[in-house]
Structure 1
């Protein structure tokens, strides 16, 4: 078959730009707080071993598959799946909906992710203008209530975050996404390294090392081991089709295997840096490391208020959160903008603005779930959703149901429908390596994803 070209001539300038963009897609808010917390609370080094096993068995196979599908299909997630299906002698219409599901899931996630991204911007501005000096638990709770209690203010921060996302995507792949990631990813790494250096001198580094790395096999129950295997899948966001879209813009000279490994390694490195930046400060001030999402907005500001140059440290931390959130949001918006541009012929700027406006409107229920609709329980009659507000309900549906479904279907498609010589050609692998990858995609990845989903419905 003739070599397909990237959509509308969009292309990464080279492997570095592509890898920085894919790392930006993988790194998100969860990489900053969820990964370190999960490691520390669930067995330390023993948990890490199972996490790394999950990367090998689930995450890397899916990234390899998405990269191969994207560069061969040369389109958005749905168009690439359709093109690969046609090449395999299958009906494009019967399979394209898998890519469509991935696009819809990513866009749904962006609608509420932008609300949290807006909060990182709000806290960044607060750190710069007023700081956290003297903050205690009551003060940080009051600050959070003030930040989220006004629908207009929260919607405005959500809009500002989306506006930044739209501004990047509207400028195209090379001039927008790649250029932004060439700034954002080194900036994020520099911020994390600076925070780690500060935390090592001002915090309790020894206890952090024990918390994150010391093996504690007794804490690693079968359930926790399965959670470790699945953590990479949910935190890196494979299965959304964003990697398909980004790979569609990759040149033939880009080594997809190296890019996939670099993406996973980069995300994991940022996660560990975040742990060594955050937990020394938490431990040094007797705070609770088990706060989960509250660690970002409720616990850490207390530590910042007690530290020398704490406001500057707090500003750097919330800037790093904003950068991580923005880079990830860019990939989610591009996931939706690409098919609009390719199917309607709209200019990219118009498609990006239109998608941004729709995303903002669809995100308003999540905004209102923090204030006017705080008591609304839309799925109260559904088991497992009795106490879930709008924000939590949407998050659970998207992250715990739609995302696993999308990842499972993409694995099945790549393992059973896509031709083996496609994977061999795009990844430049021999028959044995391709055979091993197809075995993982056909059997191991679907089985583990189903296990992750089942685990989420079991009582602790």
Structure 2
């Protein structure tokens, strides 16, 4: 007879489940895709060796991201609830200390901090999408583009309004539940997102600069790859896809038993990578066709690209579509982060979903104030000025570092250790429908490869 402690817990109530495998995949890909997938991934690939960098990136996906994603899936499928409840349930079933549930609040804190500043940046994309239609980009040169961006970030009320609109949309969707809210929205938003990317890729191919963009991203340049950039390539997927936040624990808890999670993980990673590559092929033709600098990071989106849009036929429409694309990517990702916060309120404390989503949204809105004001009224505030190496970090950069360089890695290591050492291999295998050498490989990766790799990523960032 099968040990009852090793059986998967019954999934969440049917009313709080994904209605289909496709809906789950769309929501999970949407969670993985974000603003960074549109500009950071293509830039990192192109600037650090093109195809050579991409090889190390894909290796990192196989060695780190997929195993950690499967760890979250196993915890969520076996635990059957939000991140806190799932960790608690799995630890008890494995006859281990329920204190392991305290790992989840670390992940929740990271998700909360990320969402507080994410909503501010996403609000900027909404503002630019509207401005593209109302004001347009015709005649925009470098000086005018910088002035427009400075006008936006220098106005705290305007930033707060766009942030509030973005969060209101996120709250409205999450408040409608898993099937009727998140899944329904993602089954619309993700095809639209891919469609917009493909449309921009096609436009870039016709307008010129496509060949230069493809060479920038894919031509192997081994001389540009150092030991440090190779490590950064291995870790890029971990930091950009968002494994380690616990969102996938919650999403896996909403899956029906007939949804196979191992193939789903492969589809999610492949979908996110494909969208990131297509985004590069959509953005960089504009950059190269107009002699712009692809190495401008965030300013590439808000300062440099408007110059290119102003110089092409139909630039207002193309520009509006591009910033709408960014807003959709941000919204799909923000829904999973908000659900990460809402699920414990609903499942552990008995809140109704609407009030829980509203309370979480208001908390995120308030938490975004330091980031919002770091661009204007609190621009000179340096909270870590007393620490060497952090004297110039403003509030936004400090919050980002706390979430991305501290909480996210800590939770990622803890999830890997939990699934690799606390959960029996048989429990992991039953949750994922996995056995044999593939299960042994996964457990090896979770016990040693993933924690070691994350520590290596952190060390590379500090030295």
Task: Give the TM bin, normalised by the shorter chain.
Answer: over 0.9
Aligned counterpart, 1:71: 77
Alignment-derived partner of residue 234 in structure 1: 239
Deviations 1:113-132 (A, max 9, x none): 10001000000110011111
Matches within 5 A, 1:55-454: 55-92=61-98, 94-454=99-459
The answer (yes or no) to whether the contact 1:7–1:248 under 8 Å persists in 2 is: no
Equivalent pair of 1:424/1:431 in contact (CA under 8 Å): no
Task: Write the deviation string for residues 163-198 of structure 1: whole angstroms up to 9, x where unpaired.
Answer: 010011000000000000001100000000000000
Unaligned runs of 5+ in 2: none
1:14 equivalenced with 2:20 (yes/no): yes
- Find the aligned partners of 1:359 and 1:419 in 2 and give their Cα distance: 37
Please state whether the residue corresponding to 2:388 is helix, strand or coil: coil
RMSD between superposed Cα atoms in Å: 0.9
Deviations 1:388-446 (A, max 9, x none): 11011100111111111110111111100011111111211113211111111111111
Per mean C-alpha deviation after superposition, the further-off stretch among 16-25 and 416-425 is 416-425
Partner Cα separation in structure 2 for residue 239 and residue 320 of structure 1: 25
State the match for 1:52 in structure 2.
58
Structure 1 unaligned regions, length at least 5: none
Q: Distance in 2 between matches of 1:405 and 1:143?
A: 39
| Distance in 1 (alpha carbons) for counterparts of 2:208 and 2:123 | 29
In 2, the alpha carbon distance for the partners of 1:384 and 1:242 equals 32
Shift of 1:100: 1.6
Task: Indicate whether 1:25 and 2:28 are aligned.
Answer: no
Contact 1:102 1:239 in 2 (8 A): yes
- Is 1:380–1:386's contact at 8 Å kept on the other side of the alignment? yes
Deviations 1:87-113 (A, max 9, x none): 110121x10011121111101110111
1:344 counterpart SS class: coil
TM superposition shift of 1:8 = 7.3
Structure 1 residues 350 and 8, CA, compared in 2 at 3 Å: closer, same or farther? farther
Q: Distance in 2 between matches of 1:4 and 1:82?
A: 15
Q: Is the 8 A contact 2:94 2:424 kept in 1?
A: yes
Write the deviation string for residues 357-414 of structure 1: whole angstroms up to 9, x where unpaired. Answer: 1110111111100000001101111222111110111001111111111101111111
TM-score, normalised via structure 2 length: 0.97
Runs of 4+ aligned residues of structure 1 deviating over 2 Å after TM superposition are 1-5
TM-score by length of 1: 0.98
How far did residue 205 of structure 1 move? 1.0
C-alpha displacement of 1:7: 4.9
Count of aligned pairs between the two proteins? 457
- Structure 1 range deviating more: 381-390 or 255-264: 381-390
Measured in 2, the distance between the counterparts of 1:227 and 1:282 equals 24
**How big is each residue's C-alpha offset from its partner over 1:235-273, in whole Å with a ceiling of 9 and x where there is no partner?**
101000000000000000001011100100010011011
CA offsets 1:197-230 (integer angstroms, 9 cap, x no match): 0001113111111100010011111101000000
How many angstroms apart in 2 are the aligned matches of 1:8 and 1:345?
Answer: 17
Q: Report how far residue 5 of structure 1 moved.
A: 3.2
d(CA) in 2 for partners of 1:439 and 1:246? 24
How far residue 4 of structure 1 moved from its aligned partner, in angstroms, is 2.2
Aligned equivalents of 1:5, 1:320: Cα separation in 2: 34
